[in-house]
Structure 1
Amino acid sequence: MSHHVPGLHHVTAITGEVQPNVDFYVGPLRQRLVKKTVNFDDPGTYHLYYGNAEGAPGTILTFFPFAGARQGRAGHGMTESFAYAVPETSLDGWAERLRGAGVTLLPEEQRFGDRVLPLRDPDGQKLELVGTAGLSGDADDGFHSVTLWLRDPGPTARILTTVFGYEEAGHESAAGQERLRLVAKGGGRASVVDLLRVDDAPRAQPGAGTIHHVAFRALDDAMQNDLREALSVAGMQVTPQIDRQYFNAIYFREPGGILFEVATDPPGFAVDEAPEALGRSLKLPPQYEGIRARIEASLPPLRVPE
């Protein structure tokens, strides 16, 4: 039984040095740092959340920074890239501005009729700007899509269509690779997932510059619980619900080996900070408040660009 998952909730990636990451995403990429907290499983390291002004689901990119992390490499069984939707009329302006900021741009691509501008962040993580019809101005509208790198896209596509309610929306093949596009019903923000199969793709190597997991939206706990049951029936090993302070989460590895999460929309990022003050102070879950001084002393200082 499928449920109508509206799209992505967030993408979580790994960075090495934290300051270049903040400089890049708040600077040339124009994201807002909406939450500065710690990795709940390793409170000696940050967990940073970027998003739009209000930190809406479908705009959230999060990072685990590990100083000295070895360089990772995308490959089969890993998310290759994430993409932001930008107005198609603004793509040239974005390219010019990014180039002026010293950002490494990759050759422009055409994909399902859209212009796509790929680039790399300071850790070498590939991300893309997709020129999107119907958007105005020159700001991004949160995520457009993620691209999952798979040896066999079939079993992953079955989970996304039969459990999450995605629909096949296109297929492209070029020299040595094929791309299957799936779109969540309603086609709103962050509704696209591309499944990419590449001949001779490298073996994935986790580390800095790679994506740790992709999270899909559940509108509330009830929907998440229904999805958990449906995933279990489909043969997935799903964790119990975990409280992540700003959403509740369940996790499973999809058939291609990529870590998926289902995260609830509520309570959201304004649960412990006023909306206008998001990301300004270090927020800790209750279990770590007692050792705040020790945690703050162990974290590197962070300068957030204006």
Structure 2
Amino acid sequence: MAQDARVRGYHHVTFCVGSAQEDYDFHVKALGLRLGKKTVLFDGQEPIYHLYYGNGSGDEGTLLTSFPMSWRPRGQRGSGQVTSITLSAPAGSLSFWKQRLTNHGYHTEYIERFGERRVVFDHPAGIEYEIMESVSSEPSPWTGAGVDGEVAIRSIGAVTVSARDIPEFDAFLKDGMGFAQIASDGPHYRYAIDDGTSGKILEVLHEPEMPQGTWTFAQGVVHHIAFDMGDRQTQQNLKLHLEGLGFTDVSEPKDRNYFTSVYFRTPAGVLFEAAVTNEGGWLKDETLDSLGDKILLPPWLESERGNIIPRLEPIVAEPAILAD
């Protein structure tokens, strides 16, 4: 793996959900994240929200982004999909999160994997979430939803992918992406970038008999995992590196207004993205204090605002904070 094409960690994870209000309540009112950007899906012709949740400034690696589409059916769980999104929180915070999520009406349980205890629960759309503890204090958390900074969620800690074939995916992760396998636990394999700290971990669940899962936009499906490349040259280097390995379906760079994306399917079937935050990032059209207040459109869709906005579900943004 070329050093000038290495990923730095996670940028964001994007998934399809049902109701926009339900999604907001889960991420903001229960998990205590900030709604940092309200915009729309740039692909296709149907007006669909694209909602971004993360820490106070929307740092790379903290971002969970959703496409609410309550009119579409649930997707089929299967191989080639993300099976769980694991968030990191400070050491000693799991009991707080188990109690808080229970108070908000979510079923929770403890599990252990790779010698780590985690709290497991589901998004209302059926996407599995976990919270694991991390010694890292970075990045700085958002504390505007009644969650103290000493327990607040820090970032995406890890993502788990279901794969039917391990050797082929293993070779791709190592040769194509610069990961190293650092541990195994039954059918679970852990891969890491650099030091393997929170935010630099990918977990693979070997399910050789699992049928292929849904690839299209559908409720309950994680659409893609985006990795942070740092700059456009590194992004281009990765694209050329993957194409040189024979993965010629790597997309051309796509302008996502706040970042630039290159997409590619992996041998496991899951869709990966190499992302680079554009100049100005989330602050190109809002101030830090006003992030997420308005529905924003890219310049090329602004002329359609009158047709797009009325077709989007209203979101009631008052935080309903329960005692923990």
What's the TM-score once normalised by structure 1's chain length?
Answer: 0.94
Secondary structure of 1:14's partner? strand
Which segment is superposed worse, 179-188 or 121-130? 179-188
Given that residues 224 and 271 in structure 2 are in contact (C-alpha distance below 8 angstroms), is that contact kept between their aligned partners in structure 1?
yes
Aligned match for 2:134, one of 132, 135, 144 = 132
Q: Please list the CA deviations of residues 190-213 of structure 1 after superposition, one character each: whole Å capped at 9, or x if unmatched.
A: 110001113543541352112011
Counterpart of 1:141 in structure 2 is: 154
Percent sequence identity is 34
Secondary structure of 2:309's partner? helix
Aligned match for 1:201, one of 198, 205, 210 = 210
Provide the alpha-carbon RMSD of the alignment: 1.6
Given that residues 257 and 278 in structure 2 are in contact (C-alpha distance below 8 angstroms), is that contact kept between their aligned partners in structure 1?
no
Map 1:229-268 onto structure 2 (within 5 A): 229-236=240-247, 237-267=249-279, 268=281
Q: How far 1:242 sits from its partner (Å)?
A: 0.5
User: CA separation in 1, counterparts of 2:19 and 2:181?
Assistant: 39
Name segments (4+ residues, structure 1) moved above 6 Å: none
Which segment is superposed worse, 229-238 or 260-269? 260-269
Given that residues 6 and 234 in structure 2 are in contact (C-alpha distance below 8 angstroms), is that contact kept between their aligned partners in structure 1?
no
Q: How far 1:134 sits from its partner (Å)?
A: 4.5
Secondary structure of 1:288's partner? helix
Unmatched 5+ residue regions in structure 1?
none
User: CA separation in 2, counterparts of 1:99 and 1:298?
Assistant: 33
Aligned match for 2:69, one of 41, 66, 69 = 66
Q: How far 1:32 sits from its partner (Å)?
A: 0.6
Q: How far 1:4 sits from its partner (Å)?
A: 2.7
Q: Please list the CA deviations of residues 161-184 of structure 1 after superposition, one character each: whole Å capped at 9, or x if unmatched.
A: 2232212110111xxxx1110111
Given that residues 23 and 305 in structure 1 are in contact (C-alpha distance below 8 angstroms), is that contact kept between their aligned partners in structure 2?
no
Counterpart of 1:4 in structure 2 is: 6
Alignment of 1:216 with 2:218, yes or no, is no
Given that residues 85 and 140 in structure 1 are in contact (C-alpha distance below 8 angstroms), is that contact kept between their aligned partners in structure 2?
yes
Counterpart of 1:47 in structure 2 is: 50
Counterpart of 2:94 in structure 1 is: 91
Which segment is superposed worse, 199-208 or 76-85? 199-208
Given that residues 9 and 58 in structure 1 are in contact (C-alpha distance below 8 angstroms), is that contact kept between their aligned partners in structure 2?
yes
Unmatched 5+ residue regions in structure 2?
138-148, 320-324
Alignment of 1:166 with 2:179, yes or no, is yes
